[in-house]
């Protein structure tokens, strides 16, 4: 008898893609949150040769 309640397996490629997407969203949330709070000095401090143009 065939069981119709079987959950199809999700491939490892989908799992890796989903994990990468979640990490990307977390990084974007951090970057935009830091920029909105005015913490751009910390944000660009670790990037060599980066400069921030202040337009306020």
pLDDT digits (tens, 9 = 90+) for 5-39: 666 677 888 899 999 999 999 999 988 887 777 76
Task: State the greatest distance between any 2 C-alpha atoms of the chain, in Å, as a whole number.
Answer: 70
Structural contact between residues 52 and 40, judged by C-beta atoms closer than 8 angstroms: yes
pLDDT (0 to 100) of residue 31:
84
Burial of 44 (0-12, 13-18, 19+ CB in 10 A): middle
pLDDT (0 to 100) of residue 45:
61
pLDDT (0 to 100) of residue 21:
97
pLDDT (0 to 100) of residue 13:
85
């Amino acid at each position: 008898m065939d069981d119709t309640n079987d959950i199809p397996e999700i491939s490892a490629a989908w799992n890796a893609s989903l994990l990468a997407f979640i990490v990307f969203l977390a990084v974007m949330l951090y970057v935009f949150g830091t920029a909105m709070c005015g913490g751009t000095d910390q944000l660009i401090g670790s990037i060599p040769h980066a400069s921030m143009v202040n337009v306020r």
